[in-house]
């Protein structure tokens, strides 16, 4: 298995690093979604189990500054994208894992 720990730091590097996307939040998110899709495609193609770890940053209060709100929003969208592509999704709190996909309701 391959452990990718963690997506939130990877996202920070993409958003604020040397080659960070420019534009509106939605424009930045579109660029990042493509990069995340390439990562997901590589994970599928490698033939191994890949475990992605991410922090949940959207459960608190709404951040008081635009940069933090943008990071929270894009992080949530990235987590959704990875969760949709994943075979299994677990939410872990205090060492207790909840199987999100098993509990999920699909609006088809």
Are 32 and 21 within 8 A, CB to CB? yes
Find the angle CA(55)-CA(15)-CA(93) to the nearest 5 degrees: 0
In a domain, 20, yes or no: yes
For residue 67, what is the domain's CATH number? 3.40.50.300
Domain that holds residue 56: 2-103
pLDDT score at 14: 96
Six-digit token pair at 56?
């949940």
In a domain, 108, yes or no: no
Which run of H or of E encompasses 52? Answer: strand 50-53
In a domain, 99, yes or no: yes
In a domain, 26, yes or no: yes
Cα distance between residue 10 and residue 63, in whole Å: 20
pLDDT higher for 92 or 60?
A: 92
Q: Is the pTM of this model over 0.85?
A: yes
Residue 5 has pLDDT above 80, yes or no: yes
The structural domain count of the chain equals: 1
Which of 16-20, 59-63, 81-85 shows the lowest per-residue confidence on average (mean pLDDT)?
A: 59-63
């Amino acid at each position: 298995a391959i452990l990718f720990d963690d997506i939130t730091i990877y996202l920070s590097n993409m958003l604020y690093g040397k080659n960070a996307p420019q534009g509106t939040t939605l424009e930045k998110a579109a660029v990042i979604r493509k990069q995340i899709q390439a990562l997901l495609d590589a994970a599928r193609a490698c033939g191994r189990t890949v475990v992605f770890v991410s922090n949940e940053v959207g459960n608190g209060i709404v951040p008081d500054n635009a940069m933090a709100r943008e990071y929270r929003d894009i992080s949530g969208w990235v987590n959704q994208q990875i969760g949709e592509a994943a075979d299994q999704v677990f939410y872990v709190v205090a060492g207790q894992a909840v199987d999100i996909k098993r509990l999920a309701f699909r609006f088809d």
